[in-house]
A and B are shown apart, each in its own frame.
Chain A
Amino acid sequence: MTKKEWPLWEIFIRGQHGLNHRHVGSLHAPDAEMAIKNARDVYTRRKEGVSIWVVPSSAITASAPSEKGPLFDPAESKVYRHPTFFDIPDEVGHM
């Protein structure tokens, strides 16, 4: 009986050339090389990707759910960061 469990890896897949790698899930593997091989079988059986990144789950630092307010609320009042905040007269044409 194996007592030592294989570490967990987070898998990122680039769906098409020109797109970002996107997190698709996680899996267990003994090392990075096997993590890529397993990710190919688990997450790209239907040509879902052109490139794979694997990252040890233990290397991920996540923001705490309790910090959601302080982190993200300040952006709420800064609507002028969106182009639609500014009214441009129709006569000016497309901008």
Chain B
Amino acid sequence: MYAQMVKSEGMKSLEEMSPEERAFQERVDRGEKIEPKEWMPEGYRKTLIRQIGQHAHSEIVGQLPEGNWITRAPTLERKAILLAKVQDEAGHGLYLYSAAETLGVSRDELFEKLHSGAMKYSSIFNYPTLTWADMGAVGWLVDGAAIMNQVPLQRTSYGPYSRAMIRICKEESFHQRQGYAIMMKMAQGTPEQKEMAQDALNRFWYPSLMMFGPSDKDSVHSAQSMAWKIKMNTNDELRQKFVDETVPQAEYLGLTVPDETLTWNEARGHYDFAEPDWAEFFEVIKGNGPCNEERLGARRKAWDKGAWFRDGLTAYAEKAAARRAASNVAAE
């Protein structure tokens, strides 16, 4: 759910499907994994490229709000931990780009689509990280929300995507716990530190709820993606699960979730909670969030300014290969 509002191709009934499509759907229904060289509907391939690509972009852009605090971490240990976390995000991006590449798109093509704005990344990373407490809130809430979605995606129908998710989930729990550990420290600290922790929760609560995407009744692409098992739960299911798990964690911290309507609903066995401001969500998606320009600008700058380095390594590799070839000839 680092992938939001991924456009899916049209949904067909079993009767409307070609024999190939029907055989494919039946394999998915049986829980078989689809591998790169096997036949798949064009819509499945395209939707997966969009979804995995968006997920990969989110991991990479997601490094920026946290990278902001590496040089200003309060202790050397916290700096080393944050550095390791941000490095993990780079790794997660690479696993996912590799998975997308098995579908016949290259990583550089995906980068170009990110840089031109043709592909999106998660709305959450367009919010600023203003204080150290935000490192806690991001790990606890943002990575926590990501886990809600990524754990079921380990069972997705596409083999390379599933394997990337398994690897990511192993590492993600470290991220959430390190975030919560920061929140605990600050919530138990001086009144000013506790206030910072509360402020971070206030600012990240609703953007975290938005990560799951709009309500299912407005989500036009869910049905086909769920039939293909590239989306495992509805947006509302995951959002509810996130709220149910997170509220007691906030209570333990002694912090208040910024939602006056939040109440435990005994009959439903779930919390009732307020929806985020969806108008704000659509503005952020459109590019009008507080940090859209800064984030995309940073990615473009890194890519453009790294060109000489990528080209240099390529030139070196070519020269070294030519030298090896020449010395082989001389030795014959």
Enumerate chain A residues within 8 angstroms of B91, measured Cβ to Cβ. 41-42, 45
Distance from B208 Cβ to chain A, minimum over Cβ atoms (Å): 26
For A, the interface residue count at a CB cutoff of 8 angstroms equals: 20
Enumerate chain A residues within 8 angstroms of B101, measured Cβ to Cβ. 8, 26
Bound form: Cα–Cα A41–B178 in Å: 21
Whether the Cβ atoms of A28 and B107 lie closer than 8 Å is yes
Distance from A44 Cβ to chain B, minimum over Cβ atoms (Å): 10
Query: Which of B50-58, B215-223, B303-311 sits within the interface?
Result: B303-311
Bound form: Cα–Cα A52–B107 in Å: 23
Secondary structure call for the B interface: helix
Bound form: Cα–Cα A4–B307 in Å: 11
A sample of 17 cross-chain residue pairs with beta-carbon separation below 8 angstroms, ordered by A number, consists of A2-B108, A4-B311, A6-B314, A8-B98, A25-B95, A25-B164, A27-B98, A30-B314, A31-B313, A31-B320, A34-B313, A41-B91, A45-B87, A45-B91, A46-B171, A62-B37, A64-B37
Seed contacts A2-B311, A30-B316, A34-B317; 13 additional CB < 8 Å A-B pairs? A1-B307, A2-B314, A5-B108, A25-B95, A25-B164, A26-B98, A26-B101, A27-B94, A31-B317, A42-B91, A42-B95, A45-B91, A65-B39
Question: Could you list which residues of chain B lie within 8 angstroms of chain A, going by C-beta atoms?
Answer: 35, 37-39, 84, 87-88, 91, 94-95, 98, 101, 106-108, 163-164, 167, 171, 304, 307, 310-311, 313-314, 316-317, 320-321
